[in-house]
């Protein structure tokens, strides 16, 4: 009967994985500084905290990003003690940079961003021991080289079984993260309540990008050999993770010009006058015939930028552009 449940669960999850996808909406902002002090292009996450850092905030830094990852993985066959990595608790994620083009919803302007998963958290619930693992028995210290220790894992137990929750920092490589069981695990169990951290950096110089809302979508495969890889034993609830990026770019000050307005030309023209481009061409042609030295006049477009400020003796000035 126990193996019947394993097989049935595997078949049902495999059928659902064909059509299901998990979706995450991420929001972030970037305000280019006039003095170029943030030219690194790092976006600030504005997605509400969820997952590990929402449940255990005292174990996370103030700037740590934690976003719920709507996936669950369920064991499909028993784990034997000292198992091979892919036959047990095995994890890999999009830890290396992925490039995505995002588009301004009003103007159509685009730029590229670099996305990377920087941390991973999950909770394990099992009817057997949640602490009989290698490297310190709990889930604090992963193996494989793809993740590193961040904070001690936490766990507990009740009449229905035991649980443990953990968080790892990821390394910028393709190596996996895994734990080896020191006991045989024959009871069904699962990893759930997953969350992740991420980094987002503009590949382009955003000082030249217009303000507005930019959107794009990253699609990651889930399953053995996929972007989210949970080994050969654990079956995931979905086969695709779609991440929608909704990015806000807000300039403190931006002056937008056209290619024509960035050109400066010298044209023959009457003293005190500014000729059009066509008039300038005609005057050059006239000079080529008459050889009479023309009056050269600089021609360009002009604009004015100013601040209007209200000054108070005891407060900072209030300015509007």
Length of the chain: 321
Alpha-carbon Rg for the chain, nearest whole angstrom, is 30
The 3-state secondary structure of 269-284 reads CCCCCCCCHHHHHHHH
**Of 225, 249, 273, the domain-final residue:** 249
Same domain, 56 and 188: yes
Give residue 216's pLDDT: 98
Same domain, 113 and 79: yes
| 204 vs 121, higher pLDDT | 121
Same domain, 50 and 182: yes
Q: Is 176 domain-assigned?
A: yes
Average pLDDT of the chain, as a whole number: 83
Q: Is 27 domain-assigned?
A: yes
Same domain, 207 and 297: no
Same domain, 259 and 244: no
Domain count, the chain: 2
Query: For residue 264, is pLDDT > 70?
Result: no
CB 130 within 8 A of CB 156: no
Q: Is 11 domain-assigned?
A: no
Same domain, 283 and 240: no
Q: Is 72 domain-assigned?
A: yes
List beta partners, residue 125. 163, 190
**Residue 225 to residues 86, 90, 132, Cα–Cα distance (Å):** 11, 12, 27
CB 118 within 8 A of CB 150: no
- In tens, the pLDDT along 180-198 reads 999 998 888 899 999 999 9
How many Cβ atoms from other residues are within 10 Å of residue 74's Cβ? 20
CB 111 within 8 A of CB 88: no
Same domain, 196 and 269: no
- Token pair, residue 171, equals 């390394």
Same domain, 235 and 262: no
Same domain, 242 and 259: no
Q: Is 175 domain-assigned?
A: yes
List beta partners, residue 122. 166
- Token pair, residue 16, equals 């659902």
| 153 vs 106, higher pLDDT | 106
Same domain, 151 and 230: yes
pLDDT band at 88 (very low <50, low <70, confident <90, very high): very high
Same domain, 147 and 288: no
The string over 19-49, giving b where at least 16 C-beta atoms fall within 10 Å of a residue's C-beta and e elsewhere, is eeebebebbbebebeeeeeeeebebebebeb
Give residue 286's pLDDT: 78
Collect all residues with Cβ–Cβ distance below 8 Å to 271 and sequence separation of at least 6: 295
Lowest-confidence region among 37-41, 85-89, 232-236: 37-41
Query: For residue 316, is pLDDT > 60?
Result: no
Give the span between the Cα atoms of 141 and 151, in whole angstroms: 9
Domain residues for 204? 19-249
- In tens, the pLDDT along 3-31 reads 334 444 444 444 444 557 899 999 999 98
Same domain, 298 and 241: no
């Amino acid at each position: 009967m126990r193996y019947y449940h394993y097989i049935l669960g595997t078949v049902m999850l495999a059928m659902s994985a064909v059509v299901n996808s998990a979706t995450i909406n991420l929001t972030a902002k970037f305000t280019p500084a006039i003095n170029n002090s943030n030219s690194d292009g790092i976006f600030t996450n504005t997605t509400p905290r969820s997952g590990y850092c929402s449940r255990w905030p005292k174990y996370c830094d103030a700037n740590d990003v934690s976003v719920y990852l709507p996936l669950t993985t369920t064991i499909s066959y028993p784990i034997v003690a000292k198992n091979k990595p892919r036959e047990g608790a095995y994890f890999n994620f999009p830890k290396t940079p992925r490039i995505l083009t995002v588009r301004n919803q009003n103007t159509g302007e685009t730029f590229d961003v670099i996305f990377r998963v920087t941390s991973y958290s999950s909770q394990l619930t099992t009817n057997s021991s949640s602490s009989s693992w290698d490297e310190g028995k709990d889930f604090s210290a992963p193996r494989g080289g793809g993740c590193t220790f961040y904070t001690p894992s936490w766990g507990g137990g009740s009449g229905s079984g035991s649980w443990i929750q953990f968080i790892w920092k990821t390394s910028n490589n393709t190596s996996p993260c895994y734990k080896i069981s020191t006991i045989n695990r024959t009871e069904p169990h699962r990893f759930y309540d997953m969350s992740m951290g991420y980094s987002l950096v503009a590949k382009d110089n955003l000082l030249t990008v217009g303000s507005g809302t930019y959107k794009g979508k990253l699609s990651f495969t889930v399953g053995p050999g996929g972007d989210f890889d949970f080994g050969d034993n654990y079956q995931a609830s979905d086969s695709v993770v779609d991440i929608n990026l909704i990015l806000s770019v807000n300039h403190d000050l931006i002056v937008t010009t056209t290619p024509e307005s960035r050109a400066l030309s010298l044209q023959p023209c009457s003293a005190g006058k500014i000729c059009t481009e066509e008039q300038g061409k005609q005057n050059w042609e006239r000079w080529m015939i008459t050889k009479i030295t023309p009056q050269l006049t600089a021609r360009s477009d002009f604009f004015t930028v100013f601040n209007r400020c209200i000054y108070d003796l005891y407060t900072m000035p209030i300015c509007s552009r």
